[in-house]
């Protein structure tokens, strides 16, 4: 496989199989294993913007044409917007997506009482859309509900759905991201959401990896319905990489490294290849925080993910509640 351009579902938006997410680039603190080392403990805004631009430059040179941000990713949108302006890049040769619903509250600190606060209300949508568009301009062509859940009630909030439909009528694709053990149920509910008889959602972004594949059937249904499918956290926040030193994951890491060595690739590339092999996937996000990580991730495009590899990983699949419990225990660093 190559990073050959394709359409994002039925949206007509141009994307590449491997995209770049800015969750680990836009703020000092994140839950990825080894995040502090990736940033070399350099949290100055100018230094982090320069790092982000270096990764974006490398991604663009490698053919990456989907970039994913959110209002809660610290200065992620600002870093991306500045890069787009400096490089004078304009759609439709690439796609930028962002998300609304979380407000960043860590005040540029690694450790905070709260890193982000969630609110899926109409005032937050209107405010954050204005903020996102003022930074990203017409490059912002996909706007997503950030971490829609059954508990938040956002999929039943008529005033929010109508506002999203209004944006859609103006030419903005509308999506949602999902998280947690009920990802599948949220996706199924989203597929039935209509405003004035028209399906609202154009894309869905979900977690799928070899540890947590529970949303697979729902994502396949979304794909068959014409939605673009974006996969996040393909490396399980670093658990599916060589940097995972959690004692409980020792056997998993040993298996991952052995299978990668047999195929003359890296652990992260093999884990990403597992996602790229799924028939429902439009884009899988690299969460690289360094140029070296990005180049390693891009190796996934040359990896053949076959039945023997899938069988090797099968014993390490976790029940969705267990997986999300472990994720919630990862330390911000």
| Whole-number Å distance between alpha carbons of 64 and 70 | 18
Whether the upstream peptide bond of residue 20 has omega within 30° of 0, thus cis, is no
What is the end-to-end Cα distance of the chain in Å, rounded? Answer: 34
* Burial of 22 (C-beta count, 10 Å sphere; 0-12/13-18/19+): buried
Task: Name the residue with higher pLDDT: 333 or 178.
Answer: 178
Closest CA relative to residue 44, chosen from 24, 27, 21: 27
Which are the contacts of 179, defined by CB distance < 8 A and separation ≥ 6? 147, 149, 206, 207, 324
> Is the pLDDT score of 40 beyond 70?
yes
For the four alpha carbons of 275, 277, 282 and 287, in that order, the dihedral sign comes to positive
pLDDT digits (tens, 9 = 90+) for 108-151: 787 877 778 899 999 999 999 999 999 999 999 999 999 999 99
3-state secondary structure of 324: helix
Structure tokens at 323: 């997986």
| Whole-number Å distance between alpha carbons of 154 and 327 | 23
Domains and CATH numbers, the chain: 13-329 (3.20.20.100)
**Which whole number is the average pLDDT over 152-180?**
97
* Average pLDDT value over all residues in the chain: 95
Closest CA relative to residue 324, chosen from 146, 180, 148: 180
- Check if the beta carbon of residue 238 is closer than 8 Å to that of residue 289: no
> Is the pLDDT score of 188 beyond 70?
yes
Closest CA relative to residue 210, chosen from 255, 240, 244, 246: 240
**Which whole number is the average pLDDT over 31-52?**
92
pLDDT digits (tens, 9 = 90+) for 212-228: 999 999 999 999 999 99
Structure tokens at 269: 């590339």
115: left (phi over 0), alpha (psi -120 to 50) or beta: alpha
Structure tokens at 137: 């301009």
| Whole-number Å distance between alpha carbons of 9 and 199 | 14
- Check if the beta carbon of residue 176 is closer than 8 Å to that of residue 229: no
| Whole-number Å distance between alpha carbons of 61 and 148 | 33
* Chain centre to alpha carbon of residue 200: 20
Q: Count CB atoms within 10 A of the CB of residue 198.
A: 10
pLDDT of residue 91: 84
- Point out the least confidently predicted range of 39-43, 84-88, 151-155: 39-43
Element of type H or E holding 329: helix 320-329
Structure tokens at 246: 């959690």
Q: Kindly report whether the global pTM for this prediction surpasses the value 0.95.
A: yes
Which pLDDT band, with edges at 50, 70 and 90, does 230 fall under?
Answer: very high
């Amino acid at each position: 496989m190559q990073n050959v351009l394709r359409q994002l579902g039925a949206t007509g938006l141009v994307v590449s199989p491997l995209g770049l997410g800015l969750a680990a680039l836009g703020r000092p603190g994140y839950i990825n294993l080894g995040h502090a080392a990736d940033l070399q403990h350099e949290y100055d805004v100018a230094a982090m913007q320069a790092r982000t631009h270096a990764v974006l430059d490398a991604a663009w040179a490698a053919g990456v044409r989907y970039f994913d941000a959110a209002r809660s990713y610290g200065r992620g949108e600002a870093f991306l917007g500045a890069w787009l302006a400096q490089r004078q890049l304009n759609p439709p040769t690439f796609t930028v997506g962002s998300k609304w619903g979380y407000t960043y509250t860590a005040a540029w600190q690694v450790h905070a009482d709260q890193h982000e606060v969630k609110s899926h209300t109409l005032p937050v949508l209107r405010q954050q859309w204005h903020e996102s568009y003022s930074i990203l301009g017409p490059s912002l062509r996909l706007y997503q509900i950030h971490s829609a859940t059954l508990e938040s009630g956002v999929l039943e909030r008529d005033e929010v759905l109508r506002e999203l439909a209004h944006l859609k009528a103006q030419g903005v694709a509308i999506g949602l991201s999902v998280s947690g053990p009920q990802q599948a149920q949220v996706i199924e509910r989203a597929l039935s959401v209509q405003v004035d008889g028209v399906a609202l959602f154009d894309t869905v972004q979900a977690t799928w990896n070899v540890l947590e594949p529970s949303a697979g059937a729902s994502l396949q249904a979304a794909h068959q319905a014409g939605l673009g499918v974006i996969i996040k956290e393909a490396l399980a926040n670093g658990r599916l990489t060589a940097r995972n030193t959690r004692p409980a994951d020792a056997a998993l890491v040993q298996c991952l490294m052995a299978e990668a060595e047999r195929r003359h690739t890296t652990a992260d590339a093999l884990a990403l290849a597992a996602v790229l092999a799924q028939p429902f996937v439009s884009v899988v996000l690299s969460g690289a925080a360094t140029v070296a990580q990005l180049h390693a991730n891009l190796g996934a495009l040359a990896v053949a993910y076959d039945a023997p590899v899938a069988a090797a990983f099968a014993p390490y699949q976790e029940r969705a509640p267990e997986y999300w419990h472990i994720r919630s225990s990862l330390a911000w660093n």
